[in-house]
């Protein structure tokens, strides 16, 4: 990918890049919508990344290009205005620049920038966090600066929350930053505190991307965030991580039905994350699989962020030999389902599910046999 990116950079800008950085997409393993509620979450970094190439300019011009939109977007140095239309993809790197400046971190004055991705877009695999972290690493290198990994993750989240406008928690950026091969990233989101949990041998991830709508900024994600905050306020806690099942039961009559359902999911899901960590450390993959299935059913019933396509996939996967468990991954409202499998599950089984999905919905899902990868990395520094 490095050579392909460099070649593309030369085609766009007629010169070589000085800096190349990459950051992975991620699987939300378990912990659906627990992060911004202060709870724990488990995720896995993928071996699919967003790559950023950059070369500095001394004339103050900032030019942006990517592999999913034609042309070059140019904005004056020192400005960080939100883009609309075909240039809206650039709000992620522009938002990173704004977040870096707000945190007192040095930023480059002028540059040529190119992003390319092997992370499927809109699949709930957080290509957004990947472009934020890879962009931040490239900008830091161009400015001759560096920050701790925790600060890099925080800048990415600030860009998404305050500039792009998605009130996400730290899951996406945290896993993209702290990911390691054959490890799951555990995040205590109230800290935040980052740790790793070994992935038992023989674990496989299969992702089924429905290509149905997954646009977190369209209001559904924000609505769930607001409903959770409403529930916490009525229960009388700062965040739902501080609530217990008994507290929820005691205040049920004071909650709207919607707020109760959202809180029920989050409180139960926080418990499932802890149970999953225990089962993973014990190498009990069947127990982990049951927790994944319970997580999906809770998302469908209580959080109402699943879809007919995702439910169908999870039901099909549950019936397949070699599947420990399956659930939606990411924010929901479309996107992808993830399955944890043994080596018994393979391409033939995936194709059976694909054909059944085609018969039901008229199209085939994209199937990815995903592997774990390392977190955000500066591949080539400035000369």
The catalytic site residues sit at 172
Strand (E) or helix (H) holding 56: strand 40-57
Residues 335 and 123: beta-carbon distance below 8 Å: yes
What are 187's two structure tokens? 């995040």
From the list 338, 340, 259, 238, the residue with the least C-alpha distance to 302 is: 259
Q: How far is it, in rounded angstroms, from Cα 129 to Cα 107?
A: 19
Q: Which residue(s) pair with 54 in the sheet? A: 19, 113
What are 74's two structure tokens? 């140019």
Q: How far is it, in rounded angstroms, from Cα 66 to Cα 110?
A: 17
From the list 7, 122, 117, 15, the residue with the least C-alpha distance to 69 is: 117
| Main-chain phi, psi angles of 53, to 5 degrees | -115, 145
Query: E-strand spans in 87-227?
Result: 110-117, 183-188, 193-198, 204-209
Exposure string for 27-63, b = 16+ CB within 10 A, e = fewer? bbbbbbbbbbbbbbbbbbbbebbbbbbbbbbeeeebb
Give 379's contacts (C-beta < 8 A, 6+ positions apart): 2, 20, 21, 22, 51
């Amino acid at each position: 990918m490095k050579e392909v990116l460099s070649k593309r950079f030369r085609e766009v800008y007629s010169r070589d890049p000085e800096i190349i950085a990459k950051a992975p997409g991620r699987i939300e393993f378990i912990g659906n919508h627990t992060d911004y509620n202060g709870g724990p979450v488990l995720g896995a970094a993928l071996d699919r990344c967003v790559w950023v190439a950059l070369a500095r300019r001394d004339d103050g011009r900032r030019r942006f290009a990517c592999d999913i939109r034609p042309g070059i977007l140019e904005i004056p140095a020192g400005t960080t205005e939100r883009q609309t239309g075909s240039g809206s993809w650039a709000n992620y790197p522009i938002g990173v620049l704004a977040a870096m400046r707000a945190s007192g971190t040095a930023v480059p004055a002028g540059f040529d920038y190119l992003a390319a991705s092997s992370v499927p877009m809109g699949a709930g695999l957080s290509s957004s966090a990947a472009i934020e972290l890879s962009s931040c690493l490239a900008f830091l290198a161009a400015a001759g600066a560096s920050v701790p990994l925790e600060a890099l993750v925080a800048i990415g989240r600030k860009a998404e929350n305050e500039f792009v406008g998605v009130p996400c928690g730290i899951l996406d950026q945290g896993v993209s930053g702290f990911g390691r091969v054959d490890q799951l990233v555990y995040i205590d989101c109230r800290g935040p505190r980052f740790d790793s949990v070994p992935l038992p041998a023989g674990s496989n991830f299969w992702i089924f991307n429905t290509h149905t709508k997954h646009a977190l900024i369209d209001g559904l994600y924000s609505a769930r965030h607001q409903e959770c905050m409403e529930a916490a306020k009525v229960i009388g806690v700062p965040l739902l991580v501080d609530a217990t099942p008994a507290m929820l039961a005691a205040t049920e009559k004071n909650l709207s039905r919607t707020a109760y359902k959202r809180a029920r999911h989050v409180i139960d899901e926080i418990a499932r994350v802890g149970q999953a960590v225990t089962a993973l450390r014990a190498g009990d993959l069947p127990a982990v699989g049951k927790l994944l299935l319970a997580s999906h059913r809770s998302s469908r019933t209580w959080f109402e962020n699943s879809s007919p396509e995702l439910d169908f996939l999870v039901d099909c996967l549950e019936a397949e030999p070699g599947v420990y468990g399956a659930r939606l991954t990411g924010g929901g409202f479309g996107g992808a389902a993830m399955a944890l499998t043994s080596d018994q599950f393979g391409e033939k089984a995936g194709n059976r599910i694909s054909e059944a999905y085609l018969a039901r919905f008229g199209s085939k899902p994209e199937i990815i046999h995903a592997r774990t990868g390392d977190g955000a990395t500066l591949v080539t520094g400035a000369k």
